[in-house]
Chains A and B, each alone.
Chain A
Amino acid sequence: GENVEQHPSTLSVQEGDSAVIKCTYSDSASNYFPWYKQELGKRPQLIIDIRSNVGEKKDQRIAVTLNKTAKHFSLHITETQPEDSAVYFCAASISSGSARQLTFGSGTQLTVLP
């Protein structure tokens, strides 16, 4: 079936370094790609999203890139801080009958070391 693959599953970086998380998707008709951050014991919350009509989007220290041809997209966090430590999920809107559902990647546990 349609799925979203995410790598790496765990990522440790030193404070101030950059972190990159990559995802691939299989449904070529997917048109919406959000990224969610889930802190321990909390709900997933949207941090940035991108639609298929753009290739890159940036919001302060966070950026997302999308390569529709290769069907992959990436999250870039620069100047990481300890509060960036969380599980990050990519997602893609996958066709399901007449609807589109957000299908999530398996998550990346990011740890920012002080």
Chain B
Amino acid sequence: DTAVSQTPKYLVTQMGNDKSIKCEQNLGHDTMYWYKQDSKKFLKIMFSYNNKELIINETVPNRFSPKSPDKAHLNLHINSLELGDSAVYFCASSRTHRGSEAFFGQGTRLTVV
């Protein structure tokens, strides 16, 4: 059983396009996250949702819009893609929003050309 699954695994698209990445967790966790990992491997949090509500929104361009239809899903929509958006995006979940183990999805490698 895959605990945190995200799709697609690879995404190649042209500048200016709009794309979405989907994430689902079957762990029954309350909190979900999106992280961005750049070419230097740095893992930076983008958003955090707790029970479908946005609780953390780091300094991220408003071209990035997360959506949580229910607490098991957190999707990421990106408008007007730019070259600098190329990275690996990881979805993760944790039991609570008070600091607990984060379980990561397999990552989505986004390449903007």
Residues of A within 8 A of B (CB): 30-32, 34, 38, 42-46, 49, 87, 89, 93, 96-104, 106-107, 109
**Which residues of chain B are within 8 angstroms of A44 by Cβ–Cβ distance?**
43, 90, 104
Query: In the complex, A81→B75 CA distance in Å?
Result: 38
**In the complex, A103→B33 CA distance in Å?**
12
- Which B residues contact A (CB, under 8 angstroms)? 31, 33, 40-45, 48, 50, 55-56, 90, 94, 97-107
Q: Are A31 and B99 in contact (CB under 8 A)?
A: yes
Are B98 and A99 in contact, CB atoms less than 8 angstroms apart?
Answer: yes
- Chain B residues with Cβ under 8 A from A30's Cβ? 99
The answer to whether A100 and B104 touch across the interface, beta carbons within 8 angstroms, is no
Are B101 and A49 neighbours in the complex by a CB distance under 8 Å? yes
Q: Which residues of the other chain, B, contact A31 by a CB distance below 8 angstroms?
A: 99
Q: Are A101 and B56 in contact (CB under 8 A)?
A: yes
Quick one: which of B43, B97, B105 has the most chain A CB within 10 A? B43
SS class, residues of chain A in contact with chain B = strand
Identify 7 residue pairs between A and B in the complex whose beta-carbon atoms are under 8 Å apart, listed by A's number. Answer: A43-B104, A99-B50, A99-B56, A99-B97, A100-B99, A102-B45, A102-B94
- A-B contacts besides A32-B100, A43-B104, A46-B102, 4 pairs, CB < 8 Å: A31-B99, A45-B104, A101-B33, A101-B56
In the assembled complex, how far is the CB of residue B55 from the closest CB belonging to chain A, in whole angstroms? 5
Judge whether A107 and B106 touch: CB under 8 Å. Answer: no
**Which of A43, A93, A106 contacts B99, CB < 8 Å?**
A93
The answer on a CB contact under 8 Å between B41 and A43 is no
**Closest 7 A/B residue pairs (Cβ):** A93-B99, A100-B99, A32-B99, A43-B104, A99-B97, A104-B43, A99-B55
A43 touches which one: B31, B56, B105 (CB < 8 A)?
B105
